[in-house]
Amino acid sequence: MQLAKLDTTEGFIIVPDPKASGLTRPVMGYDETGTQTEISVVEERPLTIYLNSQEIVTAMTIGDYPEYLALGFLRNQRMLSDTDDVTGIDYDEELDVVVVRTARETNHEDKLAKKTRTSGCAVGTVFGDMMEGLEGLTLADAPVKTSWLYALSQQINRTPSLYLEAGAIHGTVLCQGDQPLVYMEDVGRHNAVDKIAGWMAMNDADASDKILYTTGRLTSEMVIKTALMGIPTLVSRSGFTAWGVEIARDVGLTLIGRMRGTRFTCLSGEHRLLRDANPKAQPDEPKKARRKGAQ
């Protein structure tokens, strides 16, 4: 099943559209001097996801790409497998509901009873049994050039986005080599990752040579989702949690964090790094693009 893609811009397949209707709204306020000012703030709205006739979860989201988000969420929660035949994805904009339909009957009452509140912003939730998919998982032994990392950081942080327009949002980008491909944003970093997963599923994208770049923290659930998507490399501007690092090492995921300008730290998969670029020769990161991230 295919959804319409945006036109490719500078090699991207999908890029953020910070001017799209409904994603932000202007709000009047006052600055530190008492001067009235108008700024753009990010909208957030509930989206309820159904799998066939069963309500699964209501997520707070910015509202773009609801079909990708729903499909990616269900796959990342192991409620849908690679072999499931998705017969339709129906989105009702008025009700803020997405229904994912499959050829087989589904029932996840037991899984829904086992919820784990995550460390994610926008009150992230994962359902039990996610760890089960990691047993015996083998990720591609894909090399990562440091020149790719520098090029990705430079291009992604200069790309027009909701973050640069209004802040208060996370970004996740699917990349191949030094080329960013699909750039998703959302109020929760998990939503942004799930949108990527949904896009990959709908387009039968090969994960073995991809890099996932995110602005969010490298927590256990972020590492698990990336590994289950089959992506061998996860890069972030933010920091790590100990369990996230432990899982990455167990499954053979290359884990790179605190990527700011020319600096980064690799805590898993260091043997795959090909240091082909001199950090001192890289251009400085522009001040406007210096996203803050949790250490």
Task: State how far the alpha carbon of 161 is from the alpha carbons of 37, 183, 213, in Å.
Answer: 21, 9, 15
Per-residue model confidence (pLDDT) at position 287: 64
Same domain, 73 and 114: yes
295 pLDDT higher than 90: no
Structure-model confidence comparison of residues 108 and 190, the more confident one = 190
Total count of domains within the chain: 2
Of 129, 158, 186, the position where a domain reaches its end is 129
Same domain, 233 and 111: no
Find how far residue 76's CA is from the centre of its chain. 11
Dihedral sign computed on CA atoms, order 284, 172, 250, 258: positive
Find how far residue 67's CA is from the centre of its chain. 15
Residue 125 lies in a domain: yes
Highest-confidence segment of 90-99, 128-137, 283-292: 90-99
92's CB contacts (< 8 A; 6+ apart) are: 98, 99
Same domain, 122 and 202: no
Per-residue model confidence (pLDDT) at position 290: 57
Q: How many percent of the chain have pLDDT more than 90?
A: 71
Same domain, 58 and 158: no
Of 129, 161, 194, the position where a domain reaches its end is 129
Per-residue model confidence (pLDDT) at position 84: 93
Question: Distance (Å, rounded) from C-alpha 152 to C-alpha 47?
Answer: 31
Residue 214 lies in a domain: yes
Residue 2 lies in a domain: no
Residue 58 banded pLDDT, cuts 50, 70, 90 = very high
Residue that the structure tokens 């295919």 belong to: 2
Residue that the structure tokens 């805590």 belong to: 267
pTM > 0.75 = yes
Same domain, 180 and 261: yes
100 within 8 A of 49, measured Cβ to Cβ:
yes
Which domain, by its residues, includes 67? 45-129
Residue 94 lies in a domain: yes
pLDDT tens digits, 101-152: 999 988 775 666 555 444 444 445 555 566 677 888 889 999 999 999 999 9
For the segment 187-194, the average pLDDT, to the nearest whole number, is 94
By residue count, the chain amounts to 295
Same domain, 122 and 151: no
212 within 8 A of 181, measured Cβ to Cβ:
no
Same domain, 209 and 285: yes
CATH number at residue 97: 3.10.20.10
Q: Report the candidate in 127, 78, 68, 60 with the shortest Cα–Cα distance to residue 98.
A: 68
93-122 burial, b for 16+ CB within 10 Å, e for fewer?
eeeebbbbebeeebebeebbeeeeebebbb
